[in-house]
Structure 1
């Protein structure tokens, strides 16, 4: 140790009152930690919804968490179905259970407002179909959409909004971590001298 280094060491010891230069590393808050924390909280929300509502789908909760994440990544029902190993119909039912209605789900071949009225009045499916001049399968499909919208509205869209918020936070944390890593690499690379002669 030269004289200058010894002086610096003495200043350090006087200032900190310790002789250890390194600090204990905190647990990282990287993308994996953020993602697993968000998934855990999404799972809690799914469990609360299952307690509160009668689910039409029998997709397990772990898969429902993955479904929520894929939904907010704009994956189509067919892609989610492939990912989970279930039918597209099961994905649709699960989305309705979780109040995850897409705008395209509301593109009915008849007046959806009329269907809402018939649903509120508890008109039987066959009568709804006759009233709307559509087949029962189509009316049943859009009745599920109307029912999911109604449940979501009664809950002030709370569950859907919480899902979106959790996954947005997770993506932001993940993005900041990746941006910081890229910026650090870029700065380090700028200092590298590239004067190489062949």
Structure 2
């Protein structure tokens, strides 16, 4: 030890209560893997939505969680219907309950503003459908999509954002924790010459 180091050590010994500089480590702040079960978190969001809105689709939470995951995996309504063993119409209704809209849900073959006006006037759907030159079921579909979008906007797209966050965390967690032991340093140090002497 050089003279300066000895002086610093002596000063430390004078002011410190002990001879070591070991601090107790702080409690861990957790990790992505500690964010809870994805299924449970999705179910919690769905429960919150059930409390706020009247769901029209007769699905239990497990089926709705499967629908959310499938939707985020890019499955079509037909694929989701096969998976859940229900009709595409039922899947669509459940998606609207959950505010899970696709761009195509509002891509109508007629002017949606006209539909909005007619719905606000409470015109009969069959009459609106005749005037727009489409079937009543088509009008109902776009009416439901507009209602879901309005509900979602009324909640500041909160539930959709929560689904996004949960499933994004899930993707990150899978990517980060599945390969936690594979840190990529093996390749970086493969040809390194390490000569450490103490």
Shorter-chain TM range is 0.7 to 0.9
CA RMSD, aligned part only? 2.7
Kindly indicate whether the alpha-carbon contact (under 8 Å) linking 1:30 and 1:173 is maintained by their aligned counterparts in 2: yes
The 1:122–1:151 alpha-carbon spacing in structure 2 relative to 1, beyond 3 Å, is farther
Deviation at 1:38, TM superposition (A): 2.3
Q: Secondary structure at the match of 1:183?
A: coil
Report the CA distance shift for 1:88/1:181 in structure 2 as closer, same or farther (over 3 A).
farther
Distance of aligned partners of 1:30 and 1:161 in 2 relative to their CA distance in 1, 3 Å threshold: closer
TM-score under structure 1 normalisation? 0.72
Answer whether contact 1:59 1:90 (CA < 8 A) is retained.
Answer: no
Relative contact order (alpha carbons < 8 A, sep ≥ 6): 1 or 2 greater? 1
Structure 2 gap ranges (5+)? 1-18, 23-27, 192-198
Is the contact between residue 129 and residue 139 of structure 1 (CA under 8 Å) also seen in structure 2?
A: yes
Q: Distance in 2 between matches of 1:120 and 1:154?
A: 17
The gaps in structure 1 that reach 5 residues or longer are 1-13, 18-25, 193-198
Runs ≥4 residues deviating over 6 A:
14-17, 28-31
1:180 shift after superposition? 3.4
CA offset digits 1:115-162 (Å, max 9, x no partner): 122223332212221332221111111111111111111111111111
In the TM superposition, residue 173 of structure 1 has moved relative to its aligned partner by 1.4
Q: Residue 56 of structure 1 contacts residue 94 of structure 1 at CA under 8 Å; is this kept in 2?
A: yes
Aligned-residue offset at 1:16: 11
Partner residue of 1:115?
Answer: 115
Aligned equivalent of 1:195: none
Cα drift, residue 189 of structure 1 = 11
Corresponding residue for residue 66 of structure 1? 66
Note closer, same or farther for the CA distance 1:122–1:175 as it changes in structure 2 (3 Å cut): farther
Question: Would the alpha carbon gap of residues 43 and 128 (structure 1) be closer, same or farther in structure 2, given more than 3 Å must change?
Answer: same
Q: Distance in 2 between matches of 1:159 and 1:176?
A: 25
Cα pair 2:32 2:172 within 8 Å, conserved: no
Matched, 1:100 2:95: no
Name the CA distance, whole Å, in 2 between partners of 1:101 and 1:125: 22
1:54-89 CA distance string (max 9 Å, x none)? 111101111101111111111111121222222222
Please say which structure displays the higher CA radius of gyration.
Answer: 2
8 Å CA contact 2:57, 2:93 repeated in 1: yes
Give the distance between the partners of 1:139 and 1:153, measured in 2 at CA.
Answer: 21
SS in 2 for 1:180: coil
Aligned to 2:144: 144
1:187 aligned partner: 186
Aligned to 1:157: 157
